[in-house]
Amino acid sequence: MNSFNTDEDTKKILQKYNHCRVKIYTFNQSRYPRINKESLLPVAKDVSYSGENTEAWYPPGHGDIYASFYNSGLLDTFIGEGKEYIFVSNIDNLGATVDLYILNHLMNPPNGKRCEFVMEVTNKTRADVKGGTLTQYEGKLRLVEIAQVPKAHVDEFKSVSKFKIFNTNNLWISLGAVKRLQEQNAIDMEIIVNPKTLDGGLNVIQLETAVGAAIKSFENSLGINVPRSRFLPVKTTSDLLLVIYICSTLL
């Protein structure tokens, strides 16, 4: 899933792999208008994405995957091809690979009841205190992000002894369930209010959603505690060198 910021660059890179025997599909997520924090009106003057309007738009977080995936037509395409689950991960997580043990659990559940949504979590360290965590409320698993926590409880949320796991954003989701919930308009995700300051100094608000927050909308959801090796995010050159070192050490 690309945004309007990354779509063209991604297509250029993917052209290098046209000879491969692997089909690579892309689709774009939505484009939302930034809101002026003072007036609470859209910053955009019109629907164009050029000139002074460039900064007026934003991609509304990875929670938009459900609607955008459905609207792209790819969901129906994959279901028509007999596919049953999709594995979703952050593109910078080099530890996110298809785990056949998890896939086998999905296809052959011990209790005979298939999970519609599986979230991979891993043990929290002091470097992960901002990561979202799972809670159970009214019989459903829920994802709690730090942006949703009142300031008075942030230190409690960051505790590695009270909240011992965090969401890796490696998710296994039933395609049939996504289609059902989208058509019923039943995917419920908390809105995250994300304040930003544009280059010109204008204070704006972005309304975003997180993909994992939809866990409570699915039936028989599950959290699986996985090894840290399945969460290796690379955001800097230093991160990449560390991953290379770890991999060479394991080899």
- DSSP for 114-174? --SEEEEEEE--GGGTTS-EEEEETTEEEEE-GGGS-GGGHHHHH-TTTS-EEEEEEEEEE
Q: Give, for all 251 residues of the chain, the pLDDT tens digit.
A: 999 888 999 999 999 888 888 889 999 999 999 999 999 999 988 888 777 778 899 999 999 999 999 999 999 999 999 999 999 999 999 889 999 999 999 999 988 899 999 999 999 988 888 889 999 988 899 999 888 888 899 999 998 888 899 999 999 999 999 999 999 999 999 998 999 999 889 999 999 999 999 999 999 999 999 999 999 888 888 888 877 777 677 66
List CB contacts of 187: < 8 A, sequence separation 6 or more: 66, 67, 181, 214, 217
Helix, strand, coil percent content, the chain, rounded in steps of 5: 35, 25, 40
- Cβ atoms < 10 Å from Cβ of 21: 4
Tell me how far apart the alpha carbons of residues 23 and 21 are, in angstroms, rounded to a whole number: 7
Quick: pLDDT tens for 31-76.
999 999 999 999 988 888 777 778 899 999 999 999 999 999 999 9
- Tell me the domains of the chain and their CATH numbers: 58-192+207-249 (3.90.550.10)
Q: Are 56 and 44 in contact (CB under 8 A)?
A: yes
Q: Which residue has the tokens 């959801």?
A: 221
Question: SS3 sequence, 186-197?
Answer: CCCCCCEEEEEE
Quick: pLDDT tens for 92-101.
998 899 999 9
Tell me how far apart the alpha carbons of residues 11 and 232 are, in angstroms, rounded to a whole number: 25
Helices 175-183, 65-72: axis angle to 10 degrees equals 90
Tell me how far apart the alpha carbons of residues 245 and 251 are, in angstroms, rounded to a whole number: 10
Residues recognised as catalytic = 235
